[in-house]
Amino acid sequence: MPDIPSLEGLPDYDVTWPWTDGRTLAPGLTCVFRVRNEARNLPWVLPPILGAVQHVLLVDNGSDDDTLEVARRIADECGAADRFTGISYPHAVARAGGEHLATPATSVHSLTHFYNWCFSHVTTTYSMKWDGDMVLTPEGAGILRDLSWQLESTRTIVAMPRHPLTVVDESTGWLDLSLRFLEPWVYPMGPEFTFVKAFDWELREYPPATERLVLQQGLCVEVKWLDADEYAHWRREGVDFTNTRLYRKLREFEVDEAIRSGRPEELGGLVRVDAPPDVHIIDHVTRTWLRQQPRPLVTHSLPASLRERAPRSGAPS
């Protein structure tokens, strides 16, 4: 019997955890991607992750840009085809917010069920949630590589700050250093660390006494492509940002609007970075620029007003 039968009665998408059916979890860390149309980002995202963890599990959710094929090719080019698993999840998944709230938690269309199904395929003692637009720096990859064996004798959650980078073109980007976008990414695998339904999205549970490790800033950027216009539906349909739980999305929307309207300096907290000739802005930021900046990169956590932030000065390009 599955641990979580799908509401729709689809056996292939029931959730059965490895500790229920007798599978032994191997030591190590598995990075779990849940992606849709991330082929553009994967050449930057996958190589450092493949060098940092024992296994990568990529779950493709209806991409039409050959995301899964691109991921397999990159894994092969990195000599890591044997440590990469790519699978498909064909069901439309509710968006965070109202759609998620209205969707039963055990439906194949629920974020909660989707996450539990994805993570039920993990075969190592630790798992890491990772997004298809997040790029590790070399320092970040090294730290994760060390943690993957250091955590083995513990039950620890690991959080890592990420810094949103809006790519204007191949040589120009705006880095948002206004807030600490801090989220737990690494969790032990076990029945106490599964996903439940919260108001706006899924939430991973953990025992109250679980130790928490927060990594330093400057290890990861979250790539936003200006030409992708990922917030077009918000401009078209509108979105209610009065819910304070959505502060991160509000900030992302503000940044996108400010850059598009030619007034990023007015928003505050944004730093323009220009790459040298023949170096892509993502490579420049992750391999050189972040490493050269004084710490801390970010001093704010959640200010009283997202619109009242002083610009960061003195950061070289």
CATH number, residue 25? 3.90.550
What is the DSSP secondary-structure string of 24-90? PPEEEEEEEEEESS-TTTHHHHHHHHHTTSSEEEEEE-S-SS-HHHHHHHHHHHTT-GGGEEEEE--
Residue 2 located in a structural domain: no
Residue 139 located in a structural domain: yes
The pLDDT, as a whole number, for residue 313 is: 44
Residue 245 located in a structural domain: yes
For 40, the domain range is 11-292
Q: Give the H/E segment covering residue 147.
A: helix 138-150
In the chain, which stretches have pLDDT less than 50?
Answer: 244, 302-317
268 is written with which tokens?
């505050």
Residue 316 located in a structural domain: no
The structural domain count of the chain equals 1
Dist CA 196 CA 314 (whole Å): 43
272 is written with which tokens?
């323009």
The pLDDT, as a whole number, for residue 300 is: 66
Residue 264 preceded by cis peptide, ω within 30: no
Q: Which of 185, 206, 164 is nearest to 52 (CA)?
A: 185
Q: Which positions ≥6 away from 107 have C-beta within 8 Å?
A: 6, 7, 8, 113
The pLDDT, as a whole number, for residue 181 is: 86
Question: How deeply is 7 buried, as exposed, middle or buried, from its count of CB atoms within 10 A (0-12, 13-18, 19+)?
Answer: middle
Please measure the distance between the N-terminal and C-terminal CA atoms of the chain and give it in whole angstroms.
Answer: 57
Determine how β-strand 26-35 pairs with β-strand 124-130. parallel
Dist CA 128 CA 15 (whole Å): 18
Residue 301 located in a structural domain: no
* pTM (2 d.p.): 0.92
Residue 5 located in a structural domain: no
Residue 72 located in a structural domain: yes
The pLDDT, as a whole number, for residue 305 is: 44
Residue 1 located in a structural domain: no
